């Protein structure tokens, strides 16, 4: 069957509903390397001496141990580890001559290697990489090794305190991406981080924010700062911003805004006057004060950057609540999908006050604004569900009836 206009519209509808269900956040991560290091009985720095390929995507690696960070009992000079590469297209994670930090332990009782290596002596010498195979760092740097060793020396019960926060912050600042991200996640999980963030840790977090090509770590740290607002970070940020004037990296203003919940008016004006859309986004994200709402409305109408307009509608609704409803419904008509999506999410926070207005937008036609209004209603509660149920039966446009049915989980049937 050739796709017709209706099937295309249905596909667009489904895309909308999928999009609004995905809150932007840091991608899911594999089991953490730090947890593997904490739990493993043996942690060594070693060089891969030999790789042996086995059947069924299995591999063995002989390791020449050059340094021990932790070992229970006497540590041999060489180790043999086993692992599997289930994806044929993926290059083996270990190769001859590679330098590793690796956390290992005895084979689990259910390990497939107990079958693949039937020889008792050979099997007894095998070790597994901890953390489900993720407990390693390739080509570790001396700085991160030193921090890891100091962290592991901290008593387990103290790792959620000042010392743990310090070493985790330092790992964010000096570690390679794999462990820096892991350390940032650990800091984000701290309860009362502000109570444990001493000056050394605060300055390390600032260093981490300034690292080039570490955007994902910076994003996670900014998310953590906005949630926990650690007071000690303010001093470290102020000092670094003063030292870097007049060329202050934007991420530091973002961190300052996340710490305080707002930026000074002078900083906001400077950022809004710049050519950089990223700078204007930062200013809008932390806009506050008597002039903020008027500025946000102007930006929502006139700024050339969809990212700025999207941030403007989000902040405006956060500041003004239901008083921003007319601005929000206009944003549902924005030609840029990211702005409409931001308006959808913002509208959902006004449930149930915004239901009537969204019903009016959705009931008129099958425009992008109408589809966005249905998407917003799908995120709301009982009153919105009743509106969608009504539109699923009575909307004059067939595509919008189908979209409403999708939004409330009704079957849409087969079309032949």
For the chain, the distance separating the N- and C-terminal CA atoms, rounded to the nearest angstrom, is 7
For residues 22 and 344, give the distance between their C-alpha atoms in angstroms, rounded to a whole number: 12
Tell me the per-residue pLDDT of 278-296, one tens digit each, with 9 for 90 and over.
999 999 999 998 899 999 9
Pair (315, 218) in one structural domain: no
Overall domain count for the chain: 3
State percent of the chain over pLDDT 90.
Answer: 71
Q: Is the peptide bond before 226 cis (omega within 30 degrees of 0)?
A: no
- Please tell me which residue, 199 or 57, carries the higher pLDDT value: 199
Q: How many residues in the chain?
A: 416
In a domain, 333, yes or no: no
Kindly report the pTM of this predicted structure. Answer: 0.82
Confidence band for 414, pLDDT divided at 50, 70 and 90 = low
- Please tell me which residue, 90 or 288, carries the higher pLDDT value: 288
* pLDDT score of 97 more than 80: yes
Q: What is the DSSP string of 336-373?
A: SHHHHHHHHHHHHTTTTTTHHHHHHHHHH-SSHHHHHH
Q: What is the pLDDT of residue 375?
A: 93
Using CA atoms, how far residue 150 sits from 127, 144, 155, 269, 342, in Å, is 25, 10, 10, 44, 44
Pair (274, 285) in one structural domain: yes
Confidence band for 22, pLDDT divided at 50, 70 and 90 = very low
In a domain, 183, yes or no: yes
Q: What is the pLDDT of residue 132?
A: 84
Pair (208, 197) in one structural domain: yes
Q: Is the peptide bond before 246 cis (omega within 30 degrees of 0)?
A: yes
* pLDDT score of 10 more than 60: no
* Host domain of residue 118: 41-140
For residues 156 and 170, give the distance between their C-alpha atoms in angstroms, rounded to a whole number: 18
For residues 169 and 150, give the distance between their C-alpha atoms in angstroms, rounded to a whole number: 13
In CATH, what number is assigned to the domain containing residue 81? 2.40.50.120
Tell me the per-residue pLDDT of 305-353, one tens digit each, with 9 for 90 and over.
999 999 999 999 999 999 999 999 999 999 999 999 999 999 999 999 9
Strands 126-129 and 99-106: antiparallel
Residues 119, 72: contact at Cβ < 8 Å? no
Pair (153, 217) in one structural domain: yes
Pair (219, 167) in one structural domain: yes
State which of 326, 357, 372 marks the end of a domain: 326
Pair (153, 133) in one structural domain: no
At residue 42, the 3 state secondary structure works out as strand
In a domain, 376, yes or no: no
For residues 63 and 136, give the distance between their C-alpha atoms in angstroms, rounded to a whole number: 13
């Amino acid at each position: 069957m050739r796709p017709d206009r209706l099937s295309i519209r249905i596909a667009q509808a489904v895309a909308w509903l999928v999009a609004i269900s995905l809150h932007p956040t840091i991608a899911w991560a594999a089991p953490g390397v730090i947890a593997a290091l904490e739990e493993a009985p043996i942690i060594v720095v070693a060089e891969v001496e030999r790789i042996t390929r086995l059947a069924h995507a299995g591999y063995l690696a002989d390791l020449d141990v050059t340094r021990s960070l932790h070992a229970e009992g006497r540590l041999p000079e060489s180790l043999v580890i086993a692992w599997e590469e289930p994806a044929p297209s993926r290059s083996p994670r270990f190769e001859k001559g590679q330098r590793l930090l690796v956390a290992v332990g005895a084979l689990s009782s259910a390990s497939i290697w107990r079958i693949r290596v039937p020889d008792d002596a050979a099997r007894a010498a095998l070790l597994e990489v901890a953390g489900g195979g993720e407990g390693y760092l390739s080509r570790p740097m001396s700085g991160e090794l030193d921090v890891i060793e100091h962290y592991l020396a901290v008593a387990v019960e103290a790792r959620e305190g000042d010392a743990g926060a310090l070493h985790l912050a330092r790992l964010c600042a000096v570690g390679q991406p794999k462990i820096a991200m892991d350390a940032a996640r650990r800091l984000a999980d701290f309860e009362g981080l502000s109570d444990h963030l001493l000056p050394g840790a605060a300055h390390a977090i600032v260093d981490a924010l300034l690292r080039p090509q570490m955007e994902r770590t910076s994003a996670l740290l900014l998310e953590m700062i906005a949630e926990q607002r650690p007071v000690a970070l303010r001093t470290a940020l102020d000092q670094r911003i003063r030292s870097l004037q007049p060329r202050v990296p934007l991420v530091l203003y973002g961190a300052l805004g996340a710490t305080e919940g707002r930026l000074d008016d002078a900083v906001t004006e400077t950022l809004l006057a710049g050519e950089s859309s990223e700078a204007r986004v930062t200013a809008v994200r932390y806009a506050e004060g008597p002039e903020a709402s008027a500025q946000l409305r102007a930006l929502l109408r006139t700024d050339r950057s969809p990212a700025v307009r999207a941030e403007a509608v989000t902040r405006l609704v956060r500041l003004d609540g239901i008083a921003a409803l007319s601005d929000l419904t206009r944003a549902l008509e924005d030609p840029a999908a990211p702005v409409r999506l931001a308006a959808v999410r913002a509208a959902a926070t006004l449930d149930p006050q915004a239901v009537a207005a969204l019903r009016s937008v959705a009931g008129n036609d099958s425009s992008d604004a109408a589809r966005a209004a249905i998407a917003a209603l799908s995120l709301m509660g009982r009153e919105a569900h009743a509106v969608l149920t009504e539109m699923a039966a009575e909307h004059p446009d067939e595509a919008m009836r189908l979209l409403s049915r999708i939004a409330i989980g009704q079957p849409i049937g087969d079309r032949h």
